[in-house]
Structure 1
Amino acid sequence: MTTLTRQDINFGQVVADILCEFLEVAIHLILYVREVYPSGIFQKRKKYNVPVQMSCHPELNQYIQDTLHCVKPLIEKNDAEKVVVVIMDKEHHPVERFVFEISQPPLLSIRESKGPLGGSDILLSHVEQLLRAFILKISVCDAILNNNPPGCSFTVLVHTRDVATRNMEKVQVIKDFPWIVADEQEVNMQEPKLIPLKTMTSDILKLWRAVILDRI
């Protein structure tokens, strides 16, 4: 088994690419399952070898892509601790939060393999299996949650480490899409109920210690 440090390869970029691709699918699926938008704007596609629902609304898709494009540099530098999808009612009070906790290992272990990509074949296949399990959990989460009120909207929050927070005002990945501090009413919920959804641990990416649904 070969052990590499983060500096030996562009480890942060590998993590960010995989995570942002997954988050894009997960956000679309959450919006569909929790009926934030009409089902008619979604189309069935396949990702991680399972069917998923993806929006075909250009403006919504662009918002999600721009958000993740801005999140990606934080993940590359291991500065993002959580990515949170917040579903809010008409008064912009959070009624539900999908919390994705992120953790990256300092070392990457690659076992010898005869595959065309060496040990990475096995590692990436394992990660895909774990991500598939996440998607399947999200697709059935409505069975354990109450219905949301009509007229809900959503936003995406990022919890960063202290060092990143001090520098974020200087970083603007997309013009006219700046970082802003979240309102307290978007962050805090009164007496939330915590529902563990899924935990992912992999040799290559210890990305999610746990994913938890917050529910009033």
Structure 2
Amino acid sequence: MSFALQRNTITLQGSAQIVAEYFQYAVNNILYQRGVYPQETFDVAKKYGCNLWLNNDEGLTKYLHAVLQQTKVWLEQGKLKQLVLVITEADTKEVLERWTFDINTNRDVLEGKGPLPDKPEKEITQEIQAIMRQISASVSFLPLLESRCLIDILVYTDSMDAVPEEWEDSDPRSIDNAEMVALRGFSTKVHAVKTMVTYKQQDDVL
């Protein structure tokens, strides 16, 4: 019984690892489903009870690893507010899609007040699985990306005394007259994550 209870107890560091791992799989599967990178640059991975995809391009893998390592640190510090995957047209630099992950941190856990929350790992996995299925189904309503695209990742945090030198300021990369679709969220009871996609409307074709 004590072993089961221990597994259900969510620490700040454990929650940060869960959320960072979610970002890794969510971003990779968005890139796969949206065709931003060729299908042959992805390997299948079994995660959350689903067949998901991880990109094996060395440059992209290195970039995502660096981003996610830093966001994990900010998650543990309770500083991360939002992560945004931006997809832009390569030639025009026009923003076509913004995949936004809003993060809310349990302040009591962050400040060490009260007991650590309990939540079964299976329940968290099921919540994330539902989001991954929605990402896979997003191709049914998102406009086809017909041109070569690039990506960028924006991170919004609480004010900090020092920012790593490899990070730089950016404009919001917003989309005018955009459509927005909210996906499911998940919670570890330490971090709550809401996911949504904003995309450029297609011009009506007569």
Pairs aligned (count): 186
Task: Kindly provide the CA deviation profile for residues 52-87 of structure 1, in whole angstroms up to 9, marking residues without a partner as x.
Answer: 011122221111111111211111111111111100
- Give the 5 Å matches for 1:46-195: 46-90=46-90, 91-107=92-108, 123-161=120-158, 163-164=159-160, 167-169=161-163, 171=164, 178-182=166-170, 184=171, 187-195=173-181
d(CA) in 1 for partners of 2:30, 2:39? 12
**CA offset at residue 106 of structure 1?**
2.9
**CA offset at residue 215 of structure 1?**
0.8
Indicate how the Cα distance of structure 1 residues 41 and 87 shifts in structure 2: closer, same or farther if over 3 A, else same. Answer: same
**CA offset at residue 206 of structure 1?**
4.1
Task: Kindly provide the CA deviation profile for residues 30-59 of structure 1, in whole angstroms up to 9, marking residues without a partner as x.
Answer: 100000011111121100111001112222
How high is the sequence identity, in percent, across the aligned residues? Answer: 21
The amino acid across from 1:80 in the alignment is L
d(CA) in 2 for partners of 1:40, 1:55? 9
The amino acid across from 1:23 in the alignment is F
**CA offset at residue 214 of structure 1?**
0.5
The amino acid across from 2:192 in the alignment is L
- Structure 2: state its 5+ residue gaps: 1-8, 110-114, 201-206
SS of the residue 1:66 aligns to: helix
1:213 to 171, 181, 197: 197
Q: Aligned residue for 1:38?
A: 38
Indicate how the Cα distance of structure 1 residues 26 and 132 shifts in structure 2: closer, same or farther if over 3 A, else same. Answer: same
- Structure 1: state its 5+ residue gaps: 1-8, 112-119, 173-177
The amino acid across from 1:72 in the alignment is K
Q: Aligned residue for 1:29?
A: 29
CA contact (8 A) 1:96 1:213 kept: yes
d(CA) in 2 for partners of 1:201, 1:24? 17
- Give the 5 Å matches for 1:13-28: 13-28=13-28
**CA offset at residue 18 of structure 1?**
0.7
TM-score relative to the length of structure 2: 0.82
TM-score relative to the length of structure 1: 0.78
CA RMSD of aligned residues (A): 2.1
CA contact (8 A) 2:82 2:103 kept: yes
d(CA) in 2 for partners of 1:187, 1:13? 31
CA contact (8 A) 2:12 2:190 kept: no
Does 2:185 correspond to 1:199?
A: yes
d(CA) in 2 for partners of 1:26, 1:46? 13
